[in-house]
Structure 1
């Protein structure tokens, strides 16, 4: 799991603009910051955006993780598999949840919609923010249960885990 930046004020503003500000084009700038996350495995991989719940997709009009994945795909010249993973159910937003409840919130929330053709040696999950890793871990579990042999995750930002005690 790799992230390009810490979730500082500037990064938080970029994520907010992407998710809630109706600015999917900012994904190109965020992907530019993520360019250094590439390594030699990326060339033989495919990018898999974390799917957005249908209700949120209707509200936003786009999936922020898909916008990031497509921008990275153009930059790294690798394919994006936007429909490989699907949400199996709506989940409440994770922003105010504790680490423990985040895990329970996304348990069983993803499934592989179809087997990727060709089978890629590495599938790279793409999301905007890594907080506890619950979302990426659950998505990776779904891919691995469907037979994926190499799964890694990348995000634009990494949040410091809040102290809920």
Structure 2
């Protein structure tokens, strides 16, 4: 996996994107299955589940509403020529028909996180992301047209590798704030291809 990620991310071998994306798709299916089983178990505990069985089955079909790739800095984009998380999210978006929006942007270049310790990573990620103003109107329209009435919006942050979680946490904070600015609630999940 380390070799594949190196080929894809650092050597620009984009042919790996479909394969890694399909592997990420399997991880999504696992997440979906876990969430659906959890919903069914909680519903079975309800006294009224037999009366409202059809409604429970319908509501237990968990799926994400939106994918948000972790953005890379302009420096990294020039260096690599592509955003690896965005390419992985593209594969998942096509397979599962889940829309993808680049709701975030990097406010500054943070350097390669793989060479840093936990404390450095956490410090680096403070204020490293912001709400992407280029898609704010698009996001507002999407919320009006697609937000569920009876539950929070399910957003999945997509990245290639999870190390300390500092990147995911920083992105999640911005997304929760964005959603709450429009008076909606959100459930934020993360999906990564690998864990270091």
TM-score range, shorter chain: 0.7 to 0.9
| Equivalent position of 1:158 in the other structure | 195
More helix by share: 2
Secondary structure of residue in 2 paired with 1:150? strand
Secondary structure of residue in 1 paired with 2:66? strand
* Count of residues in Structure 1 that have an aligned counterpart in Structure 2: 147
Q: Which runs of 5+ in 1 are unaligned?
A: 1-10, 160-165
Q: Which runs of 5+ in 2 are unaligned?
A: 33-60, 148-152, 181-185
**Cα distance per residue 1:44-99 (max 9 Å; x no partner):** 41111100000110111100001100011111121111x21111111121111111
- 5 Å matches for 1:57-76? 57-76=77-96
| Equivalent position of 1:118 in the other structure | 142
Residue 113 (structure 2) pairs with residue 85 (structure 1): no
| TM-score (norm. length: structure 2) | 0.70
Q: CA RMSD in A?
A: 1.5
Secondary structure of residue in 2 paired with 1:71? helix
CA distance in 2, matches of 1:41, 1:20: 35
| Equivalent position of 1:45 in the other structure | 65
Q: Shift of the alpha carbon at 1:20? A: 1.2
Whether contact under 8 Å (2:21, 2:92) holds in the other structure is yes
Q: Shift of the alpha carbon at 1:102? A: 0.5
CA distance in 1, matches of 2:170, 2:13: 27
| Equivalent position of 2:11 in the other structure | 21
Residue 127 (structure 2) pairs with residue 108 (structure 1): yes
Which of 137, 140, 147 is equivalent to 2:172?
A: 140
Q: Shift of the alpha carbon at 1:122? A: 1.2
| TM-score (norm. length: structure 1) | 0.83
CA distance in 2, matches of 1:150, 1:25: 32
Larger Rg: 2
Secondary structure of residue in 2 paired with 1:118? helix
Secondary structure of residue in 2 paired with 1:108? coil
CA distance in 2, matches of 1:57, 1:128: 15
Q: Shift of the alpha carbon at 1:41? A: 3.4
Q: Please say which of residues 71-80 and 132-141 is displaced more in the overlay.
A: 71-80
